[in-house]
Chains A and B, each alone.
Chain A
Amino acid sequence: MCRHFLFCWCAGILSLIAQTASASMSESDYAAARARLVAVIESDVRETSVYLDTEELDPRVMETIATVPRHQFVPDDQRAHAYENRPLSIGHGQTISQPYIVAIMTDLLKLKPDDRVLEIGTGSGYQAAILAPLTETVFTIEIIEPLARQAQARFRRLGYANIRSRIGDGYYGWEEHGPFDAIIVTAAADHVPPPLIKQLKPGGRMVIPVGGRFLTQQLVLVSKDDDQHVTTRQILPVRFVPLTGEH
């Protein structure tokens, strides 16, 4: 029953011990670790599929997860954990989400290659890097200046040419580049900012993770239909029903 839990915990201890050694991991080691991570996410998604209305995630999303070097988006002392399916601290009181959650959020946006995506809360830049290969342009806004600068440098260094980033207040979106086909609000939101709903195209989708800094409680998917009617779907990223005996 708690084998999985114990396993994860032991893995945590082992990774702590291995941390120094892993500092010298090669790119191929990282690629192998990414492949393992993808396998873990795929298996978790199959378990949760009932709630996600899908048997598997968009293969393009999984492909991106398998190629984006997550270790480049975390501080050096966290690299050893970069391909564990867990959230990580990136400094400035901010975190990088659990890859499983990143995959689900990205999939929920149902991106097409010519979509324009707006991200509120660049953070480390990992989410934008996942979105970049799937769409035409990613616009991303970060409110914390040092984080924004680090992410900008990272995008340049890693060659993400279709990510446009800005330091500032995400509440009003990025009007001159709107409306957007998809918006992802990874920064904590007190409410859904009305200007963002306005900048969502008819048929567009917005995803907001809700919860603490490290743990995502639920994903809120805001959809605008062709008649401009807005609805939300509250998605538990886990296969769980509140009553016993329900399936």
Chain B
Amino acid sequence: MSTDRQQRLPIYSVALLSATALAYEVLLIRLFSIIQWHHYAYMIISLALLGYGASGTFLALAFKPLLRHFRGAFITNVALFGLATLGCFLAAQRIPFNPEELLYDAGQWLNLIGMYLVLSLPFFFAANAIGLALAQYRDRLARVYAADLMGAGLGSLGVVLLLFVLFPMPALQLLSAMGVVAALVALWETGLRSRAAYLLLACLAITPAIIPATWTDLAISPYKDLSQTLRVTGTRVVRQQSSPLGLISVVESSVIPLRHAPGLSLNATSEPPEQLGLFIDGNGPSAITRIPDDPAGLDYLDQLTSALPYHLGTPASVLVPGAGGGTSVLQALHLGAQHIDAVELNAQIVDLVHDTYGAFAGDIYRDARVQVITAEARGFLARDDRRYDLIQIPILDSFGASSTGLYALSEDYLYTVEALREYLRHLTPGGFLAINRWVKMPPRDTLKALATAIDALERSGLEDVAQRLVVIRGWQTSTLLVKNGTFSPEELAAVRRFCEARSFDLVYLPGMAAGEANRFNLLPAPYLFAGATQLLGPARDDFLDRYKFNLRPASDDRPYFFHFFRWSTLPEIIRLYGQGGVPLMDIGYLVLVATLVQASAASLILILLPLWVYHLQRRPDTRRVGRGRVLVYFAALGLAFLFIEIAFIQKLILFLHHPLYAVAVALTAFLLFAGLGSAWSQRFQGAGGNRRRPPGIAWPVAAVVALCALYLATLDNVFAELMQLPDVGRVLISILLIAPLAFCMGMPFPLGLAQLGQHAPELMPWAWGINGCASVISTVLATLLAMHYGFTAVVACAGLLYVLAAVSFPRARPEPNGT
């Protein structure tokens, strides 16, 4: 091993590289969510991350020559990473990939594979550099690995902050420059004194800033909602704002008006007034509506199914979770509400309606009757005891994406049983909860929302559940009303009048006759009425079992309201491929499964390939440690680490009341403390590598398992108790809870790798690759497990995997020659 005096341990370059690589990963998801769709972003980037696995394979094949030229190889890979971050994204977005054509057009599969390969390059270079550093400094690898983890931790925090300041593309340019700067740092740390190299890298570092502006335009898919709208003559984007929560585009249409009024009654005679379109990541739109001089111009708001609760009384207080561009607030004002609390997570959207377009929107967010709260809805409700006459949950997802099942992978805490119980807790006696959903064919959302409401009411110990529910629908939208009390005959009569006047159908009403269903918007059979009746009757479980889509309510532990897919229905849908059956598939779920299958197959190849080469080359080194143990140990660690991290992020979303805080706090804390754990584990390695001393794997694993069990048993209650703490307090508590767990989780990997470093160094890259592959599979598998069994099961699996890792610790076999 090289021990050049001038060489420093390259911890700063590794840390900077890791920080940039993690930031890049997060940024890529942002970028692809804008130019494509979120779930395909997820698939493409998961597969691209196999660049880490491929690096293990590559290093295994070229281990000795690369280590002989460590400095050059290390610096080159860091620099290539920096350049590839920008270059590969620009190349990838030029590939005309259209996911909707995957089922028809074989050429699209080539495009998809092209995307995987191009985008895997940056991760491949990054992993090469880190893998080489770990192997080169294997006597101090715990410190190198600590730098890797801690750098990644800072990167995850940094990228969230960065995305508040910069738009995604400039952020990418900055990261690219940072990658090359990491190579400059590596040059200094490795003691390579070459002016030419310094000069070259300095020039390369400024390249991302000076490339032509036309190269850096985002190539947004022509099939996204925003692209479609911009085809219309006279439309233009008048404002764009960006944050980690999304890219907001405000669209004005000067020639042909935008008219956003989904679910408008067929009997409506009025149309919406002038509107601005609000697109998030190119999806949407929702609308910012100009208040017309004549209030009758807003009458269209009374022609939507969501207007129903305003016909059962005049609510003194209304809560709108997810207020967005303000349509539901406008509706409440127009229909007579006296006070409205508008809760919106995205501060930039609030600013747009409040300030930038305040005058256009008639200053509704400044209206004395409106209080705007920038917060996550569940968090707001958990900490507030106000009660409302009406809680109106608008439709927040776009129909196009929702109807093809694209949201299946998205966790959503607004529609869980626990969420509904929280809403009900905040209703005044006689108050209403209104949940508005798209009507899909065959019915999905409407029935699932009803099933969730029934579950929530029953868990509250109520017996007259059926008397508290009303569901109506148009051809496009449905509204479910849950009353804090039973519906009076007068109210039921008002519901009937409301529907009759607007040609909306009754789906369920206490005491409704079958003949009242399916009158205006005819389904082949009264599916929704029949479904509602079954859900409220004794045969509910049988109905849920027989229904071809998953209608079982979502919970906080399984927060996937939009997961409707059932495997048992798939063969039938495939049979109907030629007859327009494809849209029946819930694409989001299948994309997740496809990601898992592809990642597993690619991983298998990447993991087996080095073994085959070892076999061919008859490398004795690689036999000193059982390869089966190496495989199980590093795969189990890769899977388990991310299982826990992902589950924690989910738990923290509800505790910290903000998905961004949750991601930033969880990732940063996990990686930093795991880094500290790794650094601390150095002491177990011993410079001389005394094999007789136990490597100290047992207690960190025991601690991880114990903490997992403890958290599973107590975390929900602890969070509930501490929910009232201010933000800072909850963040600190989260960090305190993560710290010991992450500290222990940071130890097994470097301990195992150091063991290989001592006894079978040639297996180190293989182990590195296995861990990389397992990490990719882990994120996909965690989501899949959570959808079916919940996050509790994900954590339990992680505990078991850590035990499995402990018993598979790669110990050295006795060496016959005694070396």
Contacts and interface: CB of A to CB of B under 8 A. Distances in A.
A159 to B, nearest CB: 29
Interface stretch (B39-47, B221-229, B592-600, B619-627): B221-229
A84 B476 CA distance: 31
B578 interface: yes
B69 interface: no
A8 interface: yes
B269 interface: yes
Given A16-B105, A242-B443, A237 B232 contact: no
Interface in B199-249: 222-223, 227-228, 231-233
Interface residues of A, number: 68
A135 interface: no
Contacts of A133: none
B527 interface: yes
B106 A40 contact: no
Contact of B578 (A4, A191, A216): A4
A194 B475 contact: no
Contacts of B737: none
A143 B264 contact: no
Q: Is the interface of B mostly helix, strand, loop or mixed?
A: loop
A240 B572 contact: yes
A2 to B, nearest CB: 5
B522 to A, nearest CB: 5
Given A12-B104, A194-B270, A240 B584 contact: yes
B101 A218 contact: no
Contacts of B442: 236, 240-242
A177 B115 CA distance: 50
Query: Which of A4, A5, A231 has the largest count of B CB atoms less than 10 A from its CB?
Result: A5
B441 A87 contact: no
A92 B578 contact: no
A60 interface: no
A94 B231 CA distance: 10
B523 A212 contact: no
A86 interface: yes
Nearest to B223: A213
A145 interface: yes
A48 B583 CA distance: 15
Contact of B267 (A89, A144, A230, A239): A230
A199 to B, nearest CB: 13
A16 B106 CA distance: 7
Interface string A33-53: 000000010001001100100
Interface string A206-247: 000011111111101010000000111111111111111100
Given A5-B577, A191-B476, A16 B231 contact: no
A245 B403 contact: no
Contacts of A2: 571, 574
Contacts of B255: 169
A212 B400 contact: yes
Interface in B565-595: 568, 571-584
B579 A244 contact: no
B551 to A, nearest CB: 10
B271 interface: yes
B692 interface: no
A124 B579 CA distance: 22
B580 A101 contact: yes
A100 interface: yes
A129 interface: no
B548 A100 contact: no
A216 B522 contact: no
A225 B527 CA distance: 24
Given A86-B104, A171-B259, A192-B266, A4 B441 contact: no
Given A12-B105, A144-B231, A193-B271, A234 B523 contact: yes
B4 interface: no
A4 B523 CA distance: 28
B577 A220 contact: no
A185 interface: no
Contacts of A89: 98, 101
13 contacts: A15-B106, A16-B105, A87-B104, A92-B222, A191-B476, A211-B403, A211-B583, A232-B520, A232-B522, A242-B443, A242-B547, A244-B547, A245-B546
Interface of A: 1-2, 4-5, 8-9, 12-13, 15-16, 40, 44, 47-48, 51, 81, 84-87, 89, 92-94, 98, 100-101, 143-145, 168-169, 171, 188, 190-195, 197, 210-218, 220, 222, 230-245
